Amino acid sequence: MARESESGLPIEPVYGPAALTGWDPAEQLGEPGSYPFTRGVYPSMYTGRPWTMRQYAGFGTAAESNARYRELIAHGTTGLSVAFDLPTQMGHDSDAPLAHGEVGKVGVAIDSIEDMRVLFDGIPLDQVSTSMTINAPAALLLLLYQLVAEEQGVPADRLTGTIQNDVLKEYIARGTYIFPPKPSLRLTADIFRYCTAEIPRWNTISISGYHMAEAGASPVQEIAFTLADGIEYVRTAVAAGMDVDDFAPRLSFFFVARTTFLEEVAKFRAARRIWARVMREEFGAKNPKSLMLRFHTQTAGVQLTAQQPQVNLVRVAVQALGAVLGGTQSLHTNSFDEAIALPTATSARLALRTQQVLAYETDVTATVDPFAGSYAVERMTDDMAAAVVELMDRVEGLGGAEAAIEQGFQKAEIERNAYRIAQETDSGERVVVGVNRFRLDEEEPYEPLRVDPAIEARQCERLAALRAGRDQGAVDAALAALRKAAGGEDNVLYPMKEALRARATVGEVCGALREVWGRYVPTDAF
């Protein structure tokens, strides 16, 4: 009897040659590093070198996060990934009334260039790749990073890394938006232009399905809605006068890896194939790098459990293996205790060791795309691709990603799927080890990492000192220039950089843009 995948697609108990009837390897597969990139974006993949091993970290003050980064680098992390607290993500300073109780809780608090200096103190920015999970205020954090690099004597063309900068998915699944969609898309296009001219090796966006998956999206929804967002960003940049091959090679994506191993491998392979065809056929991209769907993967935080948390080590290992066999370019492995609190140093190290075991103790790096030609995986890849394209067509029928967001379509679809998952878990139809089956009568004690509540007061003191010691006239003039650019057509990143250099705060810069662009109010109209 056939089972169903997470996306509701059939999984047969046995696959054979009939599963690939009419299947054309040249059309469906190609060679690794060649169109349609089903088998991977690079010819050698991990046989040359492993994926970039990132560990997502950031909590409390910039000094505390800096200490964690140094420790991760010492243990073999090859790329940093910065988590910011909610006030920073929402464009508020730590002393804003709305920030009360949230400072430093789910990431590091960054209020100004002074915090950014501390965050990367002693870390040579020309020798490390840094990913920053920041969306609505992404331009600000990128510019602060560039300013700190300049102070280190590192030219901008030596900087490598990624800003998430995917605000469309915030309206769909996450909620850390600031401005309405249209000015947000304009800001994204300004970032594309700025980085093409000033920071050419930087990945200007990480178009994210991860957060949709965490909100309850199925694998098909995750890929379809993410690629639809990607199309919207490309259209925005092209409409702003940019040539697709000038910016598309720096686009990147961000996906989840679940425990449903085979479907996840098929999902990644299908996503590459679809994106390559979209970029070639819809946008006429000529540069092969414009056709490549390069992506970062994070193991599934939503599948971690507070019950029997050590079992999460097994989940994370399986999820990480699926990401690797699916051809990810970089990977973050969650710590086993993240369902309880911020990860401890020990659990973060174990998460990194999981990647290192896969890279150096297994044979998965010995050959490219080992599932190529598998009856099961190739059929699942084709089924996934067909279902994704069908859902993308529904988004297109509503006017594209932005129009569908305004109608509440993607959000409603994800919420329906999340409700289905919750029902299946509650009924026991969906097994979650340690939660609804194989439970313990009494959980083992565990001491989580706790953030010092005094952090908020210290950040407020730093802000007061910053404002007292800066040239307020220079700040006011820079913010006025920013407002003028926001109200016109000039690239806002140039005056924004000068405002941040003058020690304007994140909240002040975002406040200036709010005055011109307004705030987004969500709709549940669909």
Q: Could you report the per-residue pLDDT of 113-149, keeping only the tens digit for each?
A: 999 999 999 999 999 999 999 999 999 999 999 999 9
CATH 3.20.20.240, the chain: domain bounds: 43-427
Task: Tell me the three state secondary structure of residue 434.
Answer: coil
Tell me, what's the pLDDT at 524?
Answer: 61
Question: Other CB atoms closer than 10 Å to residue 253's CB: what's the count?
Answer: 28
Say how far residue 522 (Cα) sits from the centre of its chain: 22
What integer pLDDT is reported at residue 447 of this predicted model? 79
Options 3.40.50.200, 3.30.70.330, 3.20.20.240, 3.40.50.1970; CATH of 43-427: 3.20.20.240
How far is residue 504 from each of residues 169, 322, 477, 478, 490, measured CA to CA in Å? 28, 44, 11, 8, 20
Report whether pLDDT(323) > 60. Answer: yes
In this model, does residue 197 exceed pLDDT 60?
Answer: yes
Per-residue pLDDT tens digits for 7-61: 999 999 999 999 999 889 888 899 999 999 999 999 999 999 999 998 777 888 9
The predicted pLDDT at position 345 comes to 85
* Residue 36 main-chain phi, psi, to 5 deg: -95, 20
pLDDT of residue 476: 98
C-alpha gyration radius of the chain: 23
State the average pLDDT over residues 224-252. Answer: 96
Which residues of 121-264 form beta strands (DSSP E)? 129-133, 160-163, 202-203, 205-208, 251-257
Mean pLDDT along residues 248-264: 97
Map residue 193 onto helix, strand or coil. helix
**Among 289, 184, 293, 279, which Cα is nearest to 238's?**
279
Contact 404, 396 (CB under 8 A): no
Instruction: Return the pLDDT at 81.
Output: 87
Spacing of C-alpha 348 from chain mean position: 19
CA pair distance 370, 292, nearest whole angstrom: 20
**Confidence band of 212 (pLDDT split at 50, 70, 90):** very high
What's residue 294's pLDDT? 97
